Amino acid sequence: MCAMRIVDNPAWAGAIELIDGKTYYTCSVRCTLATSMNSDKFLGAPKSEIKRVRVPRYLAKSKTLDAEKAWYVVDSDVRGPMGHTLLPAASHEEANTLVERHKGRVIQRADVTMALLKQLKTPSK
């Protein structure tokens, strides 16, 4: 999607696995979700061909979470490889812990829209 190298920030990388077994890696949570939401454009595959989308768990970046089941913190003071980012958490309680540490607010996957992702891409003034 953005052409950033995953090897430069592997702890932030996400993955999109298709039913046919192909896996695409992205540099950040924002790029992972945006790519999966626009899979026709970026992967040449409809959403129906996506088997699973994984995002890094912020508190344990060596572990990944199912992007659809994860909780997210937005508007935090943490910056990822693409700047403003979403912080994925395994539970609502874990997300609240992130808010206590890094500010922001908790949202669910259904609240992540392209408009929100575009807003994250825009530098703060």
pLDDT block averages, 10 residues each, the chain of length 125: 73 94 93 95 95 96 94 95 91 98 97 92 58
**Residue 1 forms part of a structural domain:** no
Alpha carbon 76 to its chain's center: 14
Q: How far apart are CA 42 and CA 39, in angstroms?
A: 5
Judge whether 6 and 25 are in contact, CB under 8 Å: yes
| Structural domain count, the chain | 1
Q: Select from 31, 63, 36 the least CA-distant residue to 52.
A: 36
pLDDT score at 15? 95
CA dist 96 → 43, 65, 77 (Å):
33, 17, 14
So what's the pLDDT on residue 1? 59
3-state SS assignment for residue 35: helix
27 domain-assigned: yes
List the domain range (segments joined by +) for residue 73.
6-121
The pTM score is 0.89
Task: From residue 3, give the alpha-carbon distance in Å to each of 6, 37, 48.
Answer: 9, 17, 24
**Res 17: pLDDT:** 97
What pLDDT score was predicted for residue 44? Answer: 94
